[in-house]
Amino acid sequence: MPLTVRYNGTWRTVVPYVRVGGVWRNALVHARTGGTWRAVSDLVQIQDELIFASGVGSASAEYELSHTGDIFRIVNSMPTDIGDWITPKVRMSDYECRATLVSGSLSSGTTGTWLSLSQLRRWTLFRFVSGPQTTVLQIEIRRAADQVVLDSAQITLQVLVEE
């Protein structure tokens, strides 16, 4: 997590590092709140995505938040890592996600419930009848300990099946 510090009269944004065994590593910053020490340096970030899939006979578009901290776009069963939902990728089990169906319907994936990110979470739109279909989800990520929502994004899944 970048920190803002005053150095020689100027405010600067820095990333804290510590030297461990001769190697510089990104430091995890902790603060004591309510009598408990908590990491405050994790950066949770997701962004709006459009995932489009087309195919003859069938097509599938999927969005996945992995328990390893990765985000995957999956088009017709082909995954692509499109970034990290947490930096650094540690303590993923301290976080939860919730998907809210904005419009359309899903073939699979849980909506309306907070789920631990200690397991992968995937939302799928699959179509095997010719024509288009669109589903829009609102994905939120929160810290489980204090239930503070840290980020949210709108995910659009679109499929087009051709004959």
Order across the sheet with 121-127: list the strands. Answer: 78-84, 70-75, 59-65, 121-127
Assigned fold of 43-162: Immunoglobulin-like (2.60.40)
| Structural domain boundaries in the chain | 3-39, 43-162
Tell me the C-alpha distance between 83 and 71, whole Å. Answer: 5
* Alpha carbon separation from 84 to 69, 72, 80, 115, 129 (Å, rounded): 6, 9, 12, 18, 33
Model pTM score: 0.76
Per-block average pLDDT, block size 10, for the chain (163 residues)? 68 70 68 64 86 97 97 98 90 95 97 97 97 98 90 96 93
